[in-house]
Amino acid sequence: MANLKEVKQRITSVVSTQQITKAMKMVSAAKLRRAQDKIVQMRPYSQKLTNILNNVSAAAEGSEDLVYAQKREVNKVLIVPVTSDKGLCGAFNSNIIKASNAAINGQFAGKQISILPLGKKAYEYFKKSDYTLIDQFYQVFSEVAFDNVKSAAEFAMNGFVAGDYDQVVLVFNEFKNVATQIIRTEKFLPMAQEETNEVKTAEVDYILEPSRSYIIEELVPTSLKIQFYKAVLESNASEHGARMTAMDKATENAGDLLKELRLMYNRTRQAAITNEILEIVAGANALGGK
């Protein structure tokens, strides 16, 4: 059985760790509220803009010739894994890396793969691989702002138009609630278009100024950048939710461990007191016998 000093040191260490996990949980909760507000406000705007874009582009003459919608044989693929900069958030980062590897080794097996990591954890993992790594944008989470994310989106879009990539895929965590994040592997480019049909055309009839083609040319890049930014916001909110959950569980585990250690401490102390009493009684009996 461990001595009292060792048990007391362990109790002190666990109490200190529990205080840290509690503080991290509170910090993550505060950050989560702000991140959740951003993504909740972004979702309706992004969805409505995407719907308008699909309706307008599908109804436009020659819409199949949109540069961002060109479908070609997939030989060169750009994977964009979105992780966090820090750990201590459960399986948040490892799930993204697993999903990225699953896509690379499954759907895109044998293709020429390039990686555009967003987040230090993805960068640190994929820099050890043999894939082509684009490392200009992995620090995007140092300040989650549209202007920072826009640069990464433009790089992917320009690469697709130039023929450097035949397909661009986003791998990220979609925020559902504090305890649940859904892993998404979504095709970013070529952009999907809805099929034109009589019902859809009849239901949506826009008046466009100055022209349909001009609106499409302006709206398509903006919509794609917002879609890219939305994935980053989803991941950011998911990260804080995952870290909050992980720190809450760590705090609970520390509490359970403290109960066991304090019980062990009391038993060890009781055993020491009992031994001292036995030694005193034995000594008294020995003196009485003389």
Are both 134 and 225 inside the same structural domain?
A: yes
Are both 116 and 13 inside the same structural domain?
A: no
pLDDT of residue 184: 94
Nearest to 89 by CA among 204, 196, 198, 178: 178
Residues 50, 53, 59, 64: is their CA dihedral positive or negative? negative
Residue pLDDT, tens place only, 19-43:
999 999 999 999 999 999 999 888 8
Average pLDDT over residues 254-274: 90
Q: How far apart are CA 280 and CA 196, in angstroms?
A: 97
Token pair of 66, please? 């949109």
Report if residue 58 sits inside a domain. Answer: yes
Confidence band for 167, pLDDT divided at 50, 70 and 90: very high
pLDDT of residue 2: 64
Report if residue 285 sits inside a domain. Answer: no
Are both 216 and 75 inside the same structural domain?
A: yes
pTM of the model: 0.83
Are both 169 and 100 inside the same structural domain?
A: yes
Are both 57 and 8 inside the same structural domain?
A: no
pLDDT of residue 140: 92
Token pair of 136, please? 């200009």
pLDDT of residue 194: 52
Active centre residues (catalytic) = 89
Mean pLDDT of the chain: 87
Percentage of the residues of the chain whose pLDDT score is greater than 90: 59
Residue 14 sits in a domain whose CATH number is 1.10.287
Are both 15 and 77 inside the same structural domain?
A: no
Report if residue 77 sits inside a domain. Answer: yes
Q: In 3-state terms, what secondary structure has residue 58?
A: helix
Are both 70 and 16 inside the same structural domain?
A: no
Percentage of the residues of the chain whose pLDDT score is greater than 70: 89
Are both 257 and 188 inside the same structural domain?
A: no
Confidence band for 204, pLDDT divided at 50, 70 and 90: low
Report if residue 39 sits inside a domain. Answer: yes
Are both 124 and 266 inside the same structural domain?
A: no
DSSP 82: B
pLDDT of residue 290: 57
Q: Report the chain's C-alpha Rg in angstroms.
A: 29
Report if residue 286 sits inside a domain. Answer: no
Residue 170 sits in a domain whose CATH number is 3.40.1380.10
Are both 193 and 79 inside the same structural domain?
A: yes
The answer to whether residues 230 and 46 touch, using CB atoms and an 8 Å cutoff, is yes
Residue pLDDT, tens place only, 38-93:
998 888 888 888 777 777 666 554 455 578 888 889 999 999 999 999 999 999 99
* Residue 252 dihedral angles phi and psi, to the nearest 5°: -65, -45
Task: Domain of residue 148: give its range.
Answer: 27-246
Q: How far apart are CA 79 and CA 179, in angstroms?
A: 26
| CA end-to-end span of the chain | 35
Report if residue 171 sits inside a domain. Answer: yes
pLDDT of residue 201: 45
Neighbours of 24 (CB within 10 A): 19
The answer to whether residues 140 and 118 touch, using CB atoms and an 8 Å cutoff, is yes
Q: How far apart are CA 174 and CA 171, in angstroms?
A: 10
Q: Is the confidence at residue 253, as pLDDT, over 70?
A: yes
Average pLDDT over residues 9-14: 93
Are both 86 and 142 inside the same structural domain?
A: yes
Report if residue 287 sits inside a domain. Answer: no
- Most confidently modeled range among 48-52, 58-62, 214-218, 227-231: 227-231
Report if residue 288 sits inside a domain. Answer: no
Are both 15 and 61 inside the same structural domain?
A: no
What's the number of domains the chain is made of? 2
